[in-house]
Amino acid sequence: MEVNLTRVDQDFHFAATGASGVEINIDGSPEIGGHNAGARPMELLLMGLGGCSAIDIIQILKKKRQQIDSFKINVKAERTPGEVPSLFKEIHIHFILGGPLEEAKVQQAIQLSMDKYCSVAAILYKTATINYSFELVK
């Protein structure tokens, strides 16, 4: 795997691309001189966790012949205050799925993703406690 980052301004804004060719903007916070022109690096980690688990869950539920009409994910995290580096210490990921889904199959898919398949979760488990929950909506 390879990614490339190119500095866009004289501050902290970078344009990043990977093998997909999709460009993602990354920037620092205004507190350090950034301009809110992109996501923060630690936000990208949480987005990666949500995306990785979502892909797993969708694949698993498709194999179980479950129809997903909607899917939202909320990820909240706490970092170790006053430490450098300031790592995530606790992460909670909440899945909200809609459709004619069987609760037990959704629960199993989420558990398999978070505990077995999601590579991003496996990395983050090394420094943080990750909890997860879900709800089914009509």
Q: What is the pLDDT of residues 2-28, one digit of tens each?
A: 999 999 999 999 999 999 999 999 999
Query: How many separate domains does the chain show?
Result: 2
- Residues 20, 7: one domain? yes
CA distance 4 to 14: 10
Q: Provide mean pLDDT across the span 58-68.
A: 98
Q: Compute the mean pLDDT over every residue in the chain, rounded to the nearest whole number.
A: 98
Q: What are phi and psi of 55, to 5 degrees?
A: -60, -45
The amino acid sitting at 88 is F
Can you give the C-alpha Rg of the chain in angstroms?
17
Q: In what order do the strands lie in the sheet with 70-79?
A: 70-79, 88-98, 129-137
Render pLDDT for 73-89 as a digit per residue (tens, 0 to 9).
999 999 999 999 999 99
Render pLDDT for 25-50 as a digit per residue (tens, 0 to 9).
999 999 999 999 999 999 999 999 99
Q: What is the largest CA-CA distance in the chain?
A: 52
Give how far the C-alpha of residue 123 lies from the chain's centroid of Cα atoms, to the nearest Å.
Answer: 12
- Residues 8, 66: one domain? no
- Residues 54, 26: one domain? no
What residue numbers bound the domain in which 115 lies? Answer: 41-137
